[in-house]
Amino acid sequence: MKCCALVLVCVALCPAADIPPSVIEEIVAKVNGDIITRGDLVRAKKDMEDALKAEGAPAITVENAMKEREPDIFRDRIDRILLISKAKDLNISVDNELTKYLADLQRESKLADPEKFQDYVRQQTGMPFEDFKSETKNTMLTRRVIQQEVSGKMKTDKAAEQKYYEEHKSEFMRDDKVYLREILVSTAGKDAGGTAASEKKAKDLTSRARKGERFPEMARDNSDAITAKNYGELGGFKKGDLSKSIEDQIWDKPRGYVTDPIKVDAGFLIIKVDEHQKAGQADFVEVETQIADRLLEPKLNPEVRIFLTKLRQEAFIQIKPGYVDTGAAPGKDTTWSDPATLKPETVTKAEVVTKARRKKLLWVVPVPGTKAADTSSSK
């Protein structure tokens, strides 16, 4: 049976003459330890087209946009793999960020049950929850690498930032916003006695928090919510973002306030007010980073492409003929190497027998440098 490096094949554990191999997917590029398949590119093209249609763009606009963007789909897949690979080299972790994002998404879905939430994600995205989680993590990793290795090293002039702030003050008005942390003591699967024990635990935790014990560490060690890995952090909320039953208990409370245990479907919830940002004009120092990002934005894409070109120079890349990387590094050899094109060695039946015998004899041939070899040579 001939094996070809251009395809992933499914081979039955029976004679090749009975069941031929079936092509599952065609590999079109190898990038470091990863691959790109033709199906990856087809799906990426469909996702791009679906996103444009979802924006309500006219058919002609979608068609023109696809003509403009389609040539870079292959390039973008290579970019993504290179950035994820670089994130691993730099030991970058986005676990806390991912945990917080999923917690926010679950809260917005109003589905406390994990299985129902995962089913909701599948319905909304069209992919299994674990695949969605992996894709989200990879996107976060690529952004973190660009921030750390590119945008984080770009500087802006403070005077230019101050000037921009003065000229665009109206764009930096703050909303009335509250920042929260949570501890959830779950009652899932518990009987009346277990529920009573959970309530007692929640009350004890509330008492400890009000006495000054650090809430983030308490959340990490005691909370049953997904946010426990992120020290219970929930982020910021504007008026109306929260359910009324929770909003009424925290909205007018000062920084550091800890609620009594609140009975929710999943158990008993304890909320701490980390900060309450009042509406009004944001100070320059509060929006300085945001202004810097705006000023750097026109310069960022060229710098990112320079960085990605460098990654290509350092990477192992092989591309199948017929596919073009529009971000290719000048002078980089990405010639496809297909082991299937190697000519098979011609041997006789006698040579096969001899090779098999030699293979068996290796078990008794002394290894050079060992006592057995020394003994053998002295005979």
At CA 301, angle to CA 296 and CA 304, rounded to 5?
105
pLDDT at res. 137: 95
Write the Ramachandran bin of 280: left for phi over 0, alpha for psi from -120 to 50, otherwise beta. left
How far apart CA 349 and CA 351 sit, in angstroms, is 5
pLDDT tens, N- to C-terminus, the chain (379 residues)? 434 444 444 433 444 445 555 556 889 999 998 999 999 999 999 988 888 888 887 889 989 999 999 999 999 999 999 999 999 999 999 998 898 889 888 878 878 788 899 999 999 888 899 999 999 999 999 999 999 999 888 888 899 999 999 999 888 888 888 999 999 999 988 999 999 999 999 999 999 999 999 999 999 999 998 888 889 998 889 888 888 888 999 998 999 999 999 999 889 999 999 988 888 888 888 888 889 888 988 899 999 999 999 999 999 999 999 999 999 999 999 999 865 554 444 545 455 445 444 433 333 434 444 344 444 444 4
Long-range CB pairs of 307-316 (<8 Å, 24+ gap) are: 307/146, 307/149, 307/150, 308/79, 308/82, 308/83, 311/82, 311/83, 311/85, 311/86, 312/78, 312/82, 315/31, 315/32, 315/82, 315/85, 316/30, 316/31, 316/32
Report yes or no: 29 and 61 within 8 Å, Cβ to Cβ.
Answer: no
Write the Ramachandran bin of 126: left for phi over 0, alpha for psi from -120 to 50, otherwise beta. left
pLDDT at res. 244: 87
pLDDT at res. 176: 86
**Domains of the chain from N-terminus onward:** 176-278 (3.10.50.40)
**262: helix, strand or coil:** strand
